[in-house]
Amino acid sequence: MRTQVAIIGAGPAGLLLAHLLYQHGIDCVVLEARSREYVENRVRAGVLEHQSVDILNAAGVGARMMKEGLLHHGIHLNFGGESHRIDFEALTGRAVMIYGQQEVVKDLIAARLAARQPLIFEADSVSVHDFESDSPQVRYSIDGQARTLECDFIAGCDGFHGICRSSIPAAQLNVFERVYPFAWLGILAEMPPAAEELIYANDDRGFALLSMRSPTVSRLYLQCHPDEDPAKWSDDQIWGELRTRLHVEVPGGPVLQKSVTPMRSFVAEPMRFGRLFLAGDAAHIVPPTGAKGMNLAIADVQVLARGLQAFYREGSEEDLSAYSATCLSRVWKVQRFSWWMTSLLHRFDDETPFDHRRQLAELEYLVTSRAAAQSLAENYVGLPLAH
């Protein structure tokens, strides 16, 4: 089989790229190792920057998001027993949308299937070859039958643990990484949100976050040790700890899911190797404190789609040549913000009393200085995309 662009991974990055290419008449095949049921139900990020919302709407896949998503005009920072609101609307004129990543994936899969475009789930033994030549190949198998997909370009949108980045010679990669000494114990609960907007809490017992996925489903997090066993936390313990750290009356409800999320910052440079392009989590990971993972993936594929459109429309490789540098400029700004939010709100095992007092002083400055609050708001609602 032959196509113009082979896309590895059916997460938000791969599916959105496929949709953007389809709208410009560029053929592509999407290969996904997991089942459709799995990718449509894995719970991930839920905050969309205003520009991500605009991109999804412009692509014609935002109707359900606009109907069911929750528009948020600010967040709350709770510390020292008090709550302080950061007003995005007043500071930036922008807002964010609460809409789960799995819902974005469902919308994009529906659009792909409605267009009758190739989307192959449960592809086994996927491997990429000859991507430093003009004739890349992707090999895979379906039901035990080996197949080869010839293409012009390969888009590696297969996540942090995918095969695309690991197929690049290690000597050609510059890897930057920071692993944090804590994780998040996250729960999905059948409970109306206990607040209208997200609450980020810095407490002596550790960080906590009150978030939501819909008017009837809440997503909540507690700072914990990386090796924490979620099964050892009873529902009553979790609800009690959330109330203590958030300083909010959280009514509780049936817990649908418990999981532990490790915290790391990771960047692989460059994001292009010959005709293999990395996008989304395949190229970078941010700690979830800044709510940027899915937004970075959307920004990456917008740049990549534009470059591929110019190549097939005009024969120009200028945008493709600039892909890595263009994306990394934004990636590192977002890494800085996510690191800053994480450092501001979590307790560190090795922190001194000086460290903690400095942290509280920074929080107090943040909520009393318009300039500081505006900086947070600008980054949270989304820095400008590359043009």
Question: Catalytic residue positions?
Answer: 72, 200, 288, 292, 380
The H or E element spanning position 130 is none
CA distance 151 to 169: 21
End-to-end CA distance of the chain: 34
Determine the Cα–Cα distance for residues 262 and 288; give it in Å rounded to an integer: 10
- DSSP code per residue over 317-372: -HHHHTHHHHHHHHHHHHHHHHHHHHHHHS--TT--HHHHHHHHHHHHHHHH-HHH
Number of CB atoms found within 10 A of residue 43's CB: 16
Q: Which residues contact 236 (CB under 8 A, 6 or more apart)?
A: none
Collect all residues with Cβ–Cβ distance below 8 Å to 283 and sequence separation of at least 6. 156, 165, 267, 268, 271, 300, 327, 331
Are 204 and 348 spatial neighbours (Cβ–Cβ below 8 Å)? no
Residue 300 φ then ψ, to 5°: -55, -50
CB distance 310 to 316 below 8 Å: yes
Collapsing DSSP to helix, strand or coil, 310 comes out as helix
